[in-house]
Amino acid sequence: MFGGDVFVEIAAILGIATLTGIIGQKLRQPLIIMFLATGILAGPSFLGIIQSYEQIELLAHIGIALLLFIVGLKLDLNLIRTTGPVATATGLGQILFTSIIGFVIAIAMGMTYLSAAYVSVALTFSSTIIIVKLLSDKKEIDSLHGQIALGFLIVQDIAAILALVGLTTLGASVSRDDSGYLSFLMIGAKGAGLLVAVALLMKYVIPYLTKRLAHSPELLTLSAIAWAVLLGAGSELLGFSKEVGAFLAGVSLASTTYRDSIGARLTSLRDFLLLFSSSISAYDWIGLWWDRNGVHR
């Protein structure tokens, strides 16, 4: 529609988001729902505004990373020790129950065992971005049930990574390739190394740096964003998701005295970027439906 001009596309998305946000406010609907509606309207099934997909998707990825970073900022390590066992038990229980039911249904539909395993794992996932945004809007992210829900989502993300690695290993063994087992061990070692590195930085480097950077609030905010994106990128390079790295970046700053000031300055930027995250998600859902029905985007 706009000839691939990304600036004009973003302007159009922002305009639609403002209109849908006003409608949502009148209907007393969460803003995240209206962001999804914006993505549907801007997607291929309606206005077809989104053409510069890769550029807008980049903003979406930064928004998701920033969301998980701010969530990590709000986590109290003492509270993690309290809610951790509950979140782990409920998260693993939900994953096990849902995956078994999904596997049985997939097998009944005639899928192979490996395909059924992939489908069953996919069915266990929740939308972290939507749940966290709703908890934040209702100011329940710091409550007990909010912390448990957050832990639940983190357990799901970690289990998803391990499950995909395990399924890749299984697929490799089926094709008589033993490198899959080495990959499984390597990703475990990388995860442990990432946690150790973040823990050491939390203890010896981050307190000193934040104290020096706090003399300039703007520089402190910029460095926090850089740390979130940097650790997210490093996590992705190690084979994990960028969301896990950004979350760890937030946790590493949660014990500092500047976490509230950083979080307050980043909230507006988070909401702005989440518009693109939600829009891209809705665009992908509609596009996937079109592809499955033989319609080209």
Asked whether the predicted pLDDT for residue 10 surpasses 80, the reply is yes
Single-letter amino acid code for the residue at 193 = G
Higher confidence at residue 155 or residue 296?
A: 155
Average pLDDT value over all residues in the chain = 75
The domains located in the chain, with CATH, are: 6-292 (1.20.1530.20)
* Stretch 249-274: mean pLDDT: 82
- Residue in 186, 171, 152, 6 with CA at minimum distance from that of residue 83: 152
* Stretch 21-27: mean pLDDT: 87
Distance between CA 171 and CA 112 in Å, rounded? 12
Q: ∠ at Cα 271 (280, 278), nearest 5°?
A: 15
How confident is the model at residue 191, as a pLDDT? Answer: 77
DSSP of 25-92: HHHT--HHHHHHHHHHHHSTTTT-----HHHHHHHHHHHHHHHHHHHHHT--HHHHHHHHHHHHHHHH
Q: How does residue 296 score in pLDDT terms, banded at 50, 70 and 90?
A: very low
Q: How does residue 297 score in pLDDT terms, banded at 50, 70 and 90?
A: very low
How far is residue 15 from each of residues 21, 250, 268, 275, 281, measured CA to CA in Å? 10, 31, 17, 11, 18
Contact 90, 150 (CB under 8 A): no
* Stretch 65-89: mean pLDDT: 72
Query: What letter would DSSP give residue 1?
Result: -
pLDDT in tens, 135-170: 777 777 677 777 777 777 777 766 665 665 555 555
How confident is the model at residue 14, as a pLDDT? Answer: 87
**For the CA atoms of the chain, what is the radius of gyration?**
21
pTM, full prediction = 0.66
Most confident of 27-36, 128-137, 186-195, 205-214: 205-214
pLDDT in tens, 215-244: 888 888 899 889 988 998 888 888 777 877
Please count the other Cβ atoms lying within 10 Å of the Cβ belonging to residue 172. 17
Beta-strand runs (E) in the chain: none
Distance between CA 290 and CA 1 in Å, rounded? 19
How confident is the model at residue 295, as a pLDDT? Answer: 47
Higher confidence at residue 75 or residue 292?
A: 75
Distance between CA 42 and CA 13 in Å, rounded? 7
